[in-house]
């Protein structure tokens, strides 16, 4: 039962987006997702990466399932 009490009951993330100029009138959106509990920050260039990063960051903070299957 102590394993359950060690996991945070909630995790707070910030999502920062900005438009990056690539020159010649071209640009793309980029982003940063930060877990405010663990301090982990991850960057991305494609929207679908948000969906991939979120579960990984939850496991890293101890808030997700599958933690026991991770190797250190």
Residues 6 or more apart whose Cβ sits within 8 Å of residue 44: 30, 31, 32, 33, 50, 53
Residues 6 or more apart whose Cβ sits within 8 Å of residue 42: 32, 33, 34, 53, 56, 57
CA 65 to chain centre: 15
- Give tens-digit pLDDT for 4-16: 556 668 889 999 9
Task: Output the pLDDT for position 38.
Answer: 87
What is the overall mean pLDDT for the chain?
80
Q: Report the alpha-carbon angle 26-31-33, nearest 5.
A: 175
- Give tens-digit pLDDT for 40-60: 999 999 999 999 998 888 887
Other CB atoms within 10 Å distance of the CB of residue 54: 17
pTM of the model as a whole: 0.64
Task: Output the pLDDT for position 17.
Answer: 96
């Amino acid at each position: 039962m102590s394993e359950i009490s060690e996991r945070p009951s909630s995790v707070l993330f910030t999502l920062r987006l900005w438009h990056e100029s690539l020159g010649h009138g071209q640009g793309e959106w980029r982003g940063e997702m930060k877990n405010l509990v663990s301090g982990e920050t991850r960057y991305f260039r494609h929207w679908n990466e948000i969906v991939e990063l979120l579960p990984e960051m939850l496991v890293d903070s101890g808030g997700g399932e599958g933690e026991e299957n991770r190797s250190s």
